[in-house]
Structure formats: C-alpha cells, structure tokens
Amino acid sequence: MTDALNRLADAMGILPSYVDQTGKHHPTSHETRACLLSAMGFDVSTAEAMHRALDDLAERANRRILPDWIVVDEGTAPPDVPGAWTLTREDGVVETGQIALPVLPVGIHRLDLDGDVAWLLVAPARLPEPPRTWGVTLPVYGLKTAEQGGIGTYRDLAVAMETLGETGAGFAGINPVHAGFPEDARAFSPYAPSSRRRFSTLHIDVGADPGSQGELIDYDLSIPRQNQALRAAFDARTPDPAFDDFLMREGDILRRFALHQALSAHHGPYWSHWPEDLRDPWSDAVRAFADANPDAILFHCWLQYLAESQLGQVTRACDSMALGLYLDLAVGTHPEGAETWADPVLFARGVSLGAPPDAFTKNGQRWNLAPMHPMHMARTGFHALAEILRAQLKFARVLRIDHILGFDRAFWVPDDPAIPGAYVRMPKAAMLAIARIEATRAGAVIIGEDLGNIPDGLQSDLAASGILGCRVTMFEQRWDADTPTFLPAAAYETRALTSFATHDLPTFAGWRIGRDIDWRQITDGLDDDAAAEARRNRAADVAALDRAMGGDGTDALNAFLAATPSRLVAVQAEDMLGHVEQPNLPGTVYDHPNWRRRLGPRVADLARAPGVQAAATTMKTAGR
C-alpha cells in the first residue's frame, strides 16, 4: 500500500520533501500524502483503489496523442500534430486541417485531435517593462475620516486617484476589492474573499448611514446599514438600458454568482451550513429557489453592475497617471464562498493553502483558503485563472499577484492539525502564460509577490516573463554579514516594485520603535526576555538602515526608495502620514484591529498632506 501511495503522490505532483526557510528538511509523511490525495478526489482507502487510479492515469497518458496544454509564443505556429485536427479559436471560429497549425492570436484556443483536447495558450514570450515611476498604496476601506464614519467607497477612491495623480504619482494601489460575505459583518478581511471574479459591495457609494464614527471602523454597525441602503437604492431604481446590456454581456456566470448571494441571504453566508440539497449548484432544489426568487437574484446582479460602474469611474479618474489603478489579487478564495460553490470540482477539499514554518511562525501558517486542483485547471484550459485575472484587469493597469510562489508550488495544509502540510507542484509555465495573456489584453503590468520560501528557478522564470518581483527594504539585508547591513539603493533589482514594507508589516514609524514587538507580546505571549532581545536586534537594524539611507526620517527613506533602479516604487500612505500602527497583523483575527484603521485626513485633502507633498517632491527630483 505504501508503494502505491508514494507512486500516486508522485504522479499528482506532491513533493516528497521540502526545506523550510530555517534550513530544516521536512519529508512528506504517508499521512500527508494520503490526506492530500484524498483532497484531490482519490480513494486512498486501499492499495487496490490506488492501483486502479494509477492504471487510469497510465492508460490516459498512453492513449493521448497531445498533452493537456501547450504554451505557444505569440507570432509562432504551434507544433505540428499527427493527423486531422479541429481548431476552435477563442472567438468561436472553427477551422479544420491536417498536421500544420496556423499562427494564432494571443488567447486560449482549443485543439481537438482524434478525441484528445489540448489547450493552446498563445502568449507573448515577455511582457514589456513599465515606465520608471512611483505610486502610493492606501486602504480603500480607510478613506472616511473618524468624524465622517462608515467605510471608504469607490467614489472616495476616485477622488484619491485624481488628486494623487496631480502630485505626479504614476499609480495608486489598494487592498483587494473581491466580493465578500455581506451577510457576515465579521468577514471583512479583503484576503479571504467569497469570489475573486466579482467585486465587493462594501465600497459601493449609495449614501448609506455611516453606522459608526471613531478612529476604528465598526463593521458590525456599518455593514448592515450598507446592506439596507443598497436594498433601498435597488427598490428605488429606474429603468437603465446600461444595466440591461450588463446582464446580457455577463450572462450565466453573473447569474450563478448572484444566485449564490441570494441563497446566502436566505440560508446564511457559508454554503456548508445550507440544507444539503442546496450545496450542489446544479440540484433541483437550487433551480426551484432560482425560479421562486428572481428579484433577489436580480438585486445581486445589480450590485455588481453598480460596483463595476463605480470602479469604471475610478479608472477614468486615473487619466493623469502613468499607469493608474493598482489592484491586489488574493492568493486564494474562502472554502465556503461563491467561487467554491459554483465550481466545486476546481477546488481541493479538506485542505487549505498555507506556508511552511519560518523564522516568524515556527509551526507554519494555515490561511483557510481553498487550493485550486492543478489537474482540473489543466484539463479545462486554465479558464478559471484567466477569468479571475481578467476581472481585475478590467479596471487595473497594475496587478499584484499575492504569493506568486503558488504558481510554482502550493503549500497545502490538511484540516486535521495533527497532519503536517506539504507542497504540490503547479503547472507554472501555463499559469505564467495565462498571466501574460491577460496582461497583454489589458496593457497591464503584473507584479508577483515573490517573498518567502522561494522555489529554485521561479524568479528567473518571472524575469523571463516580464513579471516584476517585490522588494521590501526591511528585508533587503546582507544576511550573511556579522552585523546588520542593509543593501545600498543601487543594489536593488530593476525588475521590481520596491517599498519599505507591506500591509502585513509594521509602518516605518512603528518599525523604528518596535511597535510590532509590542503586539507580539500582547497577542502571541512573547515573554519579556525574548521581547527585550527583539528590541535590541531592532535597534541595531534601525541604526543600520539609517546608515544605508544617510538619514533617519521619512524624507531619507523616500529618497532612498527613489534612488533605487527599480522600475516601480511604492510609498505607503500610512508612512507619509506618520502612522505608527500597521493595517494588519498576520496570525490575528480580532485581537488586533486588522483592516479597521482609518487614514485620517479627508480624501480630498489627502494629496495636500505635507508628507504626501514631500514624497512627491522627492520622487520628482529623482526623475520618477
């Protein structure tokens, strides 16, 4: 049984071992192999069942003439095939022929040959470099002041984009705005979405009662009031031909999402808690619900229309920017949301995406996000990934893919805490080709968050694809040096987005005083001796960075960032405004006010804030 288990795990890309960032070797246990294979849909209860699975895989491989997918460089013909073929182009045009295939436009095309289906992923070999510019990252939820109360809106974001563009900023980046769980006011993390193919209704501006004032957003008050305001606006709407066109254009995919949202309003936000016959999107019970509730479904279609209309206003407000709106793509989706309900075979069950142990999390991380099944992705032409990217690039000209390491290998963590996680190999070449295809359609820049336990060869593959990496100043040190030594600005990569930190890390002011260490004492129980040592190490790091920057303030930091050769430089709004507290503290949910902090000034005044003006002057002086 062990031999069959190991062979099946190898066939499905489950890596036999890995080395974590601390240098520790982790062999993949039999329990982990069995759990991950079960999550992929295999019966691992007996050796006979696994041998049948291996025989089926071998029979399929021997029978097939073509692979499931082929990456083809734009402007070149696909390789010849041995026989008569039928080609269905992405636009629906069907061609037939023999052996030689034509040069095809950028896109995902279907090739049929003697019962085999192969997907031709026609992509440019490399994306063009972006202009050398700078931008601002800010939280859209935090664009309301404490006095205004409530949650920042897409219209607030449009104002921010227009005024920041006037300072010379080439882009402005925000947290993910994927569709969430409006029926659960505590599910406000932008990185645990219900669907990455649709947009959050939380930020639609319909004049909702703000619900809460004060320095921190109170979602328990604001989300129900937002939902009430949205329903009132829907009930008061007038005929709109543009909405009718939107419904026709988006078709059944939109209606399937809206059906999920309508079911959530009746039965609760998470489909695993629904009556069993409603958990299957194709069941008779679901069809009966849809027939009985057309108004509820239309309501959620209309909300997506509003969200996209207002995001369109945001993109139009970016006209003066070199690039424009920068969106963030979450690495995964919630296991009980709209995405997993509508396409259940795409996602593995009983496991979560996560990360292996490192210097900060000795037990690793479990993100409670559903992994995509690589075999299903390949056999369906990677259309799900393409649709996810396309949804964001409808509005963004810069897209950051969170944890792009998952394009190479994804760390799957079993739901059973007693079973350790392991890596699953992903179809990297195909996923990178899909990213190039969708970026080319939109004329967009792709940034891959290549931080953490980086697989060998990934960064060179990203570079070859023209996908930028991420460089975070607080991590750009010579780790083999005897004393803290930060890299000089000139040593930074050209092919990168460079910033001091990220939304998961302390602000510049907070880092300098060790505010994150304070929070580790509060939330993780870090003892006094360990905290004291961490503060001594931090003081040494601060002194070392000051030497590298030639100063100790935000002006020196901005000048340092501006001087790097990196094509893109991002300055966090929190740093320009002198904030000490960080937006999110990883590993916490409610014991730190994640995603609740406001920026402070009115959005119309943000670009005039002294720190923003100073940063803009520094960047302009440096030729950005």
Residue 18 dihedral angles phi and psi, to the nearest 5°: -155, 165
End-to-end CA distance of the chain: 61
* Confidence check: pLDDT of 1 > 80: no
Would you say how long the chain is, in residues? 624
How many angstroms separate the Cα of 25 from the Cα of each of 18, 276, 320, 410, 567? Answer: 6, 42, 51, 17, 36
**Would you say residue 170 lies in a domain?**
yes
153 and 41 within one domain: no
Report how far residue 355's alpha carbon sits from residue 361's, in angstroms, rounded to the nearest whole number.
9
* Structural domain boundaries enclosing 79: 75-123
Tokens of 143: 């664009």
Is residue 69 situated within a structural domain?
no
Q: What is the pLDDT of residue 209?
A: 80
pLDDT at 23: 86
Q: What is the token pair recorded at 1?
A: 């049984």
Does the pLDDT value for residue 441 go beyond 90? yes
What's the pLDDT tens digit per position in 406-431? 999 999 999 999 999 999 999 999 99
**What's the pLDDT band for 359 if we cut at 50, 70, 90?**
low
Distances in Å between the Cα of 565 and the Cα atoms of 167, 478, 618 are 21, 18, 15
Q: Is 128 among the domain residues?
A: no
Looking at the structure, do residues 251 and 113 belong to the same domain, yes or no?
Answer: no
Q: Tens digit of pLDDT for each residue in 75-85? A: 999 999 999 99
pLDDT (tens digit per residue) in 5-53: 999 999 999 999 999 888 899 999 999 999 999 999 999 999 999 999 9
Residue 70 lies in a domain: no
Note the pTM of the prediction, 2 decimals. Answer: 0.96
Question: For strand 398-401 and strand 195-199, is the pairing parallel, antiparallel, or unpaired?
Answer: unpaired
> Could you read off the pLDDT of 182-231 as tens digits, one per residue?
999 999 999 999 999 999 999 999 988 887 789 999 999 999 999 999 99
Co-location of 553 and 597 in the same domain: yes
Strand, helix or coil for residue 52: helix
Which residues in 508-618 belong to E strands, given as ranges? 568-572
DSSP 8-state class, residue 409: E
If you average pLDDT over residues 464-480, what whole number do you get?
Answer: 96
Which long-range contacts link 186-192 to residues 24+ away (Cβ below 8 Å)? 186/219, 186/220, 186/590, 187/269, 187/334, 188/141, 188/219, 188/223, 188/595, 188/596, 189/594, 189/595, 190/141, 190/328, 190/330, 190/595, 191/330, 191/331, 191/402, 192/330, 192/334, 192/367, 192/368, 192/369
Q: Which long-range contacts (CB under 8 A, 24 or more apart) does 339-343 make?
A: 339/193, 339/194, 339/195, 339/196, 339/197, 339/370, 340/271, 340/370, 341/260, 341/271, 341/279, 341/281, 342/195, 342/256, 342/257, 342/260, 342/281, 343/384
pLDDT tens, residue by residue, 96-115:
999 999 999 999 999 999 99
Backbone Cα Rg of the chain: 25
Helix (H, G, I), strand (E, B) or coil at 577: coil
3 state DSSP class of 92: coil
Are both 283 and 208 inside the same structural domain? Answer: yes
Mean pLDDT (whole number) for 465-470: 98
Cα–Cα distance between 559 and 542 in angstroms, integer? 17
Q: Report in angstroms the alpha-carbon separations of 89 from 72, 102, 108, 391.
A: 14, 11, 8, 21
Burial 474-492 (b: 16+ CB within 10 A, else e): bebbeeeeeebbbeebeeb
Residues 447 and 593 in one domain: yes
Strand, helix or coil for residue 229: helix
With contact defined as beta carbons under 8 Å apart, do 99 and 81 qualify?
yes
The pLDDT value recorded for residue 456 is: 92
Please report whether residue 260 resides in a domain: yes
Q: Please list the residues that pair with 579 across neighbouring strands.
A: none
Same domain, 14 and 91: no
Cβ-contact 70, 79 below 8 angstroms: yes
Q: Are residues 156 and 305 in the same domain?
A: yes
Report the CATH number that the domain containing residue 271 is assigned in CATH: 3.20.20.80
Determine how β-strand 324-329 pairs with β-strand 398-401.
Answer: parallel
Closest CA to 447 of 490, 493, 491, 478: 493
Nearest CA among 284, 371, 360 for reference residue 586: 360
What angle do helix axes 428-442 and 458-465 make, rounded to 10 degrees?
30
* The pair of three-digit structure tokens given for residue 504, joined into one six-digit string: 């998961």
Residues paired with 121 in a beta bridge: 71, 108
Alpha-helix runs per DSSP H in 126-192? 154-166
Model pLDDT, residue 360? 64
Answer yes or no: is 68 within a domain.
no
Q: Say if residue 86 is in the same domain as residue 196.
A: no
Q: Which of 39, 63, 87 is the last residue of a domain?
A: 63
450-474 mean pLDDT: 95
What's the pLDDT band for 281 if we cut at 50, 70, 90? very high
Exposure of 410 by Cβ count < 10 A (0-12 exposed, 13-18 middle, 19+ buried)?
buried
Q: How far from the centroid of its chain's Cα atoms is residue 116's Cα?
A: 33
Supply the mean pLDDT for the chain: 96
Q: Look at residues 63, 97, 112 and tell me which one is the last residue of a structural domain.
A: 63
CA–CA distance, 405 with 535 (Å, rounded to integer): 31
Among 11, 41, 63, identify where a domain stops.
Answer: 63
Count of H-run helices and E-run strands, the chain? 19, 21
Q: Which of 44-58, 65-79, 253-267, 357-371 has the lowest mean pLDDT?
A: 357-371
Q: Would you say the C-alpha torsion 504, 510, 511, 517 has a positive or negative sign?
A: negative
Distance from C-alpha of 317 to C-alpha of 165, rounded to nearest angstrom: 9
Q: Is there a single domain that holds both residue 187 and residue 222?
A: yes
Structural tokens at position 602 = 């009115």
Q: What angle do CA 342, 396, 152 make, to 5 degrees?
A: 85
- One domain, residues 350 and 486: yes
How many structural domains is the chain composed of? Answer: 3
Half-sphere exposure (Cβ direction) of 353: Cα atoms closer than 13 Å:
24
Cα(138)–Cα(134) distance, integer angstroms: 14
Q: Are residues 159 and 90 in the same domain?
A: no
Q: Are residues 105 and 13 in the same domain?
A: no
With vertex at residue 351, the alpha carbon angle to CA 348 and CA 352, rounded to the nearest 5 degrees, is: 100
Q: Is residue 266 part of a domain?
A: yes
Where is 310: in which H helix or E strand?
Answer: helix 294-316
